[in-house]
Chains A and B, each alone.
Chain A
Amino acid sequence: MSMNYRDFFSGIAFLIIGTTTAWMGKGFYADAAYIPIGAGTLMGLFSLPLIWRSSRSLLAGRASRQPVAALVDHPGRFLATLGCCLVYYTALPTVGFYTTSALFIIVLAPVLGERRPVVVLSITLVFITLLYGLFAMVLRRPLPVEFFLAS
C-alpha cells in the first residue's frame, strides 16, 4: 500500500473524527461547546488538503516519492506481544504484581526468540529482585498483592 493510499485513508478518518467531534460538540452547554466545535471543524478542514493531494496523485497514477515501510513488519511477533500484554494486565490484580511480571517475562522472551533458559531465568530473577528492592524497600509503594499473601 503506497503512502498515497495511506494519506487518503487517514485523511478520511480524520474527516470523520473531526465532523463527529464537531457534531457532538453542538449539544454542549453554551461556552463549553465553542472549542469542541472549533477543533472538530478545523480537523475536518485540515483533512481536506490531505485527501485532495493523495486522491489527485492516486488518480494520476503517480507513485509516491516517500519511502514506505510495511504497516506491521512482523505480524506474528506484534500480535504475540500485544496478546501477552493483555493477559498480563488481566492477571495483575488477582495474581499479584511480582508473580505475574515474572511469568510475563518468562513467557514473552522465548516467544520473541530467546531460547536460552538460563539467560531468561537469571535476568528475570535479577530484574524482579531489583524491582522489589526499589518498590517494597525504598519507595514502599503497595502494588497488587501476591495471591498467596492476600487475606
Chain B
Amino acid sequence: MKATLLFTAAAISAAAFTPVMASDYPNRPIEIIVPAPAGGGTDNVARMLNQYLEQELGQPAAVLNIAGGGGAIGVNQLARSRPDGYTLLSTWNSPITTVPHMQRVQYSYETLTPITSTSQSAYTLCVSPDFPAENAEEFLAELQANPGQYTYGNDGVGGTMRLAAERIFDAFDITARPIPFGGAGETLQNFLGGHVDIYGGSITPVLPYVEDDQTKCLLVTSADDNEALPQASGLAALGHPELETVLWRMMLGPEGMDEERAEVVADAVARAVEHPEFRDFLTAQGETLNLVRGEELRDRLRLETEAIGETLESLGLKQH
C-alpha cells in the first residue's frame, strides 16, 4: 500500500517537480498576500502588476486576499510564513505604519524584509456640488466657521485616510466629525446618498462623479496638486507641504528572507512596471510610479511610522 501511495504522490506531483537549487529562485509558484478584499484598489493594482511580474519571474504568482483588521491580519500571516521567498506581501502603507499603533500585531517595519515600493497616490476630500465652496481655501474656511457640523466619511478608525484628514484639520483648527465606513466603496455610497457631507478616500472610485459634475473634489492630501482633479489643491499650495500623507504601495517579505531573493523580486518589479499597459493603468488610477528599495525603503517606513505615531498621540488615538 505504501508503495502505491508513494507512486501516486510522485505521479501527481511530477508536473510541479523541478530539482531544487539555491540559485534558480523562483522554481515553483509564488504566493502573494494582499491584505485587502478582492476587487479593492490595492487588490486591483496588485493583480495588474502581478500579470507582468509573473512574466518577469518566470513562475506563476497567485494573489491571496486576506482582508480584515485594517490589513493587519494579512500582514500577520506573512510574518508567520516561511521566509523562503515563496510568500510575499503586496500592501499599501497603512497596515505597516499606522495599524501597529492601534492594534496588537506580530510585525513591525523593523522585522519585515523590505523589497521595493511600487506606486503612490493621494487621498482626496470631496463635497456635493451645492456645498458653499469652490476651492480648497473656501472649503477649509467653511469647515472652520462651522465646527462639529460637517461629517466626513473615511476608511475606518485605524486608517491612514482619517489620519491624513485629521493632520490637516488640526493645522487649520477645524473640527469635523469622522464617520468610519468599511472602505472607499461604502463611503462613496453614503456620500452619494447624502448620508455624510464629505467624501474622504482614494481618488479612483470618485473620479467618474467628478467628470459628471456630481461632486467636486477640493483637496488632495499630497503636497503636489493632482492632474486628475484640477479643482483640488495640494498641501503645498495651502502652505503646508509638511502635512502630506499619501497612499503608497510596496512589496515586502517575511523576516529573514534571503537578500538575494529580495533583489530578484525587486529587479523583476522594476522590469514589470516598464510595461506600457501597466503605466497607462496607473495613470488612469491617478497613481504615479515610485520605486524605493531595500534599506532605503525601511528608512521611509521608519520615518512615516514615527510621524504617524506622533500625530496619533496628539489626537489621543494611539493605543499601542
Contact = CB atoms under 8 A, between A and B. Distances in A.
Interface of A: 98-99, 102-103, 106, 117, 121, 124-125, 128-129, 132, 136-137, 140-142, 145-146, 148-149, 151
Contacts of B17: 149
Nearest to B60: A140
A151 B20 contact: yes
17 contacts: A98-B12, A117-B1, A121-B1, A121-B4, A124-B8, A125-B8, A129-B12, A132-B12, A136-B16, A140-B60, A140-B62, A142-B29, A142-B86, A146-B13, A148-B9, A149-B16, A151-B28
Interface of chain B: mostly helix, strand, loop or mixed = mixed
Nearest to B82: A150
Nearest to B21: A151
Interface string B1-36: 100110011001101110010000001111100000
B9 A146 contact: yes
Contacts of B62: 140-142
If over half of A's interface residues share one DSSP class (helix, strand or loop), that class is named, otherwise mixed; here it is: helix
Contacts of B29: 140, 142
Interface of B: 1, 4-5, 8-9, 12-13, 15-17, 20, 27-31, 60, 62, 84, 86
A146 to B, nearest CB: 6
A129 B12 CA distance: 7
Contacts of B16: 136, 149
B84 A151 contact: yes
Given A140-B29, A140-B60, A149-B16, A99 B9 contact: yes
Give me the 6 closest cross-chain CB pairs, A-B, nearest first.
Answer: A151-B20, A132-B12, A142-B31, A99-B9, A142-B29, A140-B60
